[in-house]
Amino acid sequence: MSRLLRSIVILVAVLLSHNANAAEVNVYAAASLTDVMKEIAANYEKESTDKIVFNFGASSLLARQIIERAPADIFFSADEAKMDDLQKAGMIASETRRDLLSNSLVIVVPNDSQLTITSPDELLTKVQRIAIANPRAVPAGIYTKQYLSGLGLWDKLESKMVPTENVRAALAAVESGNVDAGFVYKTDANISKKVKIAFSVPVEKGPKIRYPIAIVKETKNKGAAEDFLRYLESAKARTVFERYGFIVKF
């Protein structure tokens, strides 16, 4: 009887201590990172006792949530502007900020579309509706607007634009066939089986896309967050990022 009791006490102690060490790292990441980050986190959790919990969305929406004190530990944004906003508001630990990734823009069309686009100005005549992430706030949309404005095409194409909540929603709109084409990241096009790339914006001609990452100042899991951040810069993570089509900066 006392041996049974002792075993139970040891078991409970082990379980409790296991839970005491395991932390939950809340990562608020741009929508375009959804698939790649889930895979990387799954790998990470095999090696670590920590758990990674994600909140994916438009970087603009996430930044606003963090400003409203949402419990994020890490912010992984799709553009520098949103990270700058948080930095100005004193919400991030600046010393932990770094540019991790880059990406490129593509024009996608539904799989069954006959459309061919050899240059962006063909959009003026060949399509009726173009999905893009909301150019007023979401990085993917802002990059697109930047790019098209640079070519002098934005004003003429604006009436064709169907703005969406985030870049994945733009992708979904193209997948559903309710729009003729859409601007998304190359990495988004890669994971979708229902769209094909009609035009790739050459990286040199395209907007400077930067994915900065940083630890949120008010994090309660600083150690765990730092561990994960380090992992994201490791070779293992790099392989996965590149497989998805991201351009790794470090």
The residues binding another protein (CB under 8 A) are 60-61, 64, 129, 134, 136-137, 159, 161-164, 173, 176-179
Q: Maximum Cα–Cα distance for the chain, whole Å? A: 84
Residue with tokens 């194409």: 157
Long-range (24+ apart) CB contacts under 8 A made by 115-124 are 115/180, 115/181, 115/198, 116/198, 117/181, 117/198, 117/199, 118/199, 119/199, 120/147, 120/148, 120/151, 120/153, 120/199, 120/201, 121/151, 121/153, 123/153, 123/157, 123/160, 123/181, 124/153, 124/156, 124/157
Work out how close the CB of 218 gets to another protein at its nearest, in angstroms, rounded to a whole number.
21
Shorter beta-carbon distance to another protein: residue 170 or 215: 170
- With contact defined as beta carbons under 8 Å apart, do 197 and 62 qualify? no
Contact between 141 and 171 (Cβ < 8 Å): no
In terms of CB distance, is 119 or 159 closer to another protein? Answer: 159
State in angstroms the smallest separation of the CB of 187 from another protein. 23
Q: Please name the amino acid found at residue 225.
A: A
**Residue closer to another protein (CB basis): 19 or 111:** 111
Q: Give the nearer residue to another protein in terms of CB position, either 117 or 137.
A: 137
- CB closer to another protein, 163 vs 245: 163
Q: Which is nearer to another protein, 73 or 85 (CB)?
A: 85
CB 32 → another protein: shortest distance, Å?
19
Is 100 or 140 the residue whose CB approaches another protein more closely? 140
Residues 6+ apart with CB under 8 A from 170: 131, 132, 133, 140, 141, 164, 182, 183, 184
Quickly list H helices, the chain: 2-21, 34-47, 59-67, 80-88, 123-126, 139-150, 154-157, 167-176, 186-191, 222-232, 235-244
Q: How far is the CB of 90 from another protein (least distance, A)?
A: 17
Least distance (Å) between residue 176 CB and another protein: 5
Shortest distance, position 61 Cβ to another protein, whole Å: 7
Shortest spacing between CB 129 and another protein, in angstroms: 6
